[in-house]
Amino acid sequence: MRLQILLCASCLIFSCWLISTATSYNLVCYFASWAIYRNFSGKFDISDIDPHLCTHVCFAFIELYEDGSLYVVDPWASNDEDDGGHYHQFRSLAELKKSNPDLKLLLSLGGWNEGSKNFSIVSADPVRRIKLINEILPLIEKYNFDGLDVDWEYPTLRDYAQPEDKDNFVALLKDFSEVLKPKKLLLTAAVAGAVDKIESAYDVEKIMQYLDMINLMTYDYHGAFDNFVGHISPLHASPLDYEHGRNATYTVSTGLEYWIYKNADISKINMGVPTYARTFTLEDPNNHDLYAPVTGPGERGLYTGLLGCLGYHEVCEFYSGSDSVMYWDDDQKVPHRVIGDQWIGYDDEKSIELKVDFAMAHGVAGIMVWTMDTDDFNGLCGNKYPLINTVKNRLTFHENKKKQKKIS
């Protein structure tokens, strides 16, 4: 009898160990290399990265010239030529693998500020594409990156838009794939989460052939580029969206489901969540409903210094006091805050959990986060990285459910 009890206890211990092991889901975290120059407690350096927090870390960004040559935006911080004692991010990133050998590091090319023109020109020319690849590959190999993330925002759209961009993006990814795959290096892409952009920019089935993952930007649905109040990343539509006859598809749920509708490989999708807010200055502080008129973007944050945008660390530290009122939109499943004439749409732990649950119910590969450096990485409002840890904990919850189902 005692032996049976011991055996049962051992089985129970083993089962608990099995259930609590690390998640197999992706948690892809970008960080903005320019955050090293932010003010005060907003300054973010490689030393602030917990190498066990995310499964993949993406360095944002390197850029390109129209001749196909590479532009390292900040060589002072990024390379080790004639270093003179400077702190070098590429080298320091590689050091993170000593703490976590399973961590994957990706070099991200492009970004919003890069625009579309140079991508359009380079992708249209096989010679320029090869030149770009031949410059990126040595950088990846020298600094022990695990692959490349392509962030063209967006083919066929913005400056210098060309209808051929859609096909040329496929050609660019194909060329990258043929060089990276034999070396067992990853190829990923950050892609739009709005239906109109998806339809215009991507031949979904073709790009999925060459990509190991897509990082779906299911945020920035609204912001200071609108002349009315709207949330950065609503999970679902509000009845007001239908009432106003627009924007009902500008939601996380529609963005993800449209990629699935277009036959994207769900096992390669990481659904995005933001750790920053989009903000507005209200025309009338007493009217703070969705679609309320605004006079412009919200005030600059102390750390990020951008009009119409605040990091979550700024929201929790400076905009969560007694003079700030938090509202929960039960249709959109997201919070916002109002303080005076400032309207702040953001994600908190509750809305993040709901988004992770939604993504997992659709069978995605994981979650992408933009960015590490706008979460509360110093723990000034409580625990460090509250939003990313919420993602991680919820992914672990879903992983444990899968494992429990297998055991039972």
Dist CA 74 CA 111 (whole Å): 14
Report yes or no on 91 lying in a domain: yes
What is the spatial distance between Cα 191 and Cα 199, in angstroms, rounded to a whole number? 12
The radius of gyration of the chain's CA atoms, rounded to the nearest angstrom, is 22
The helix/strand/coil state of 234 is coil
Whether 154 maps to a domain, the answer reads yes
Q: Is the peptide bond before 154 cis (omega within 30 degrees of 0)?
A: yes
Helix H segments across 143-251?
A: 165-180, 195-201, 204-210, 239-243
**Residue 16 domain flag:** no
Number of domains in the chain: 1
User: How far is it, in rounded angstroms, from Cα 287 to Cα 350?
Assistant: 25
- Across the strands, what pairs with 369? 29, 273
**Residue 317 maps to a domain:** no
Angle subtended at Cα 296 by Cα 292 and Cα 297, rounded to the nearest 5 degrees = 105
| Residue 294 domain flag | no
Q: How far apart are CA 304 and CA 35, in angstroms?
A: 8
Does residue 96 form part of some domain?
yes
- CB atoms under 10 Å from CB of 379, counted, come to 12
Q: Which domain holds residue 41?
A: 25-274+347-407
Give the SS3 label for residue 281: strand
pLDDT of residue 207: 98
Q: N- to C-terminal Cα distance for the chain? A: 24
From CA 121, how far away is CA 92, in angstroms rounded?
Answer: 33
Q: Is the pTM of this model over 0.85?
A: yes
- Alpha-carbon distance 346 to 344, whole Å? 6
Instruction: Give the C-alpha separation, 84 to 145, whole Å.
Output: 24
Torsion (CA) 268, 269, 270, 276 in degrees, nearest 10: 150
332 contacts 247 by C-beta, under 8 angstroms: no
In order along its 408 residues, the chain shows pLDDT tens digits of 433 433 333 333 333 333 344 569 999 999 999 999 999 999 999 999 999 999 999 999 999 999 999 988 776 555 555 443 333 789 999 999 999 999 999 999 999 999 999 999 999 999 999 999 999 999 999 999 999 999 999 999 998 889 999 999 999 999 999 999 999 999 999 999 999 999 999 999 999 999 999 999 999 999 999 999 999 999 999 999 998 876 799 999 999 999 999 999 999 999 999 999 999 999 999 999 999 999 999 999 999 999 999 999 999 999 998 899 999 999 999 999 999 999 999 999 999 999 999 999 999 999 999 999 999 999 999 999 999 999 999 999 999 988 887 776
Extract the tokens encoding 34.
Answer: 């320019």
With beta carbons less than 8 A apart as the criterion, state whether 77 and 88 touch: yes
User: How far is residue 74 from each of residues 70, 122, 136, measured CA to CA in Å?
Assistant: 12, 22, 15
- Report the candidate in 229, 360, 217, 351 with the shortest Cα–Cα distance to residue 297: 229
CATH number at residue 93: 3.20.20.80
Q: What's the token pair of residue 39?
A: 């003010």
> Which residues are CB-neighbours of 209 under 8 A, at least 6 positions away?
none
Q: What is the model's pLDDT at position 4?
A: 42
Helices (H) and strands (E) in the chain, counts: 13, 15
User: Per the domain annotation, does 210 fall within a domain?
Assistant: yes
Contact 36, 78 (CB under 8 A): no
Q: Which amino acid is at 171?
A: A
Does the active-site annotation cover 178?
no
Angle of helix 386-407 relative to helix 349-361, nearest 10 degrees?
40
Which of the residues 153, 299, 314, 317 is marked catalytic? 153
Q: How far apart are CA 129 and CA 123, in angstroms?
A: 6
4, burial (CB in 10 Å: exposed 0-12, middle 13-18, buried 19+) = exposed
Torsion sign across C-alpha atoms 167, 169, 172, 176: negative
Q: Would 303 be classed as within a structural domain?
A: no
Q: Can you give the length of the chain in residues? A: 408
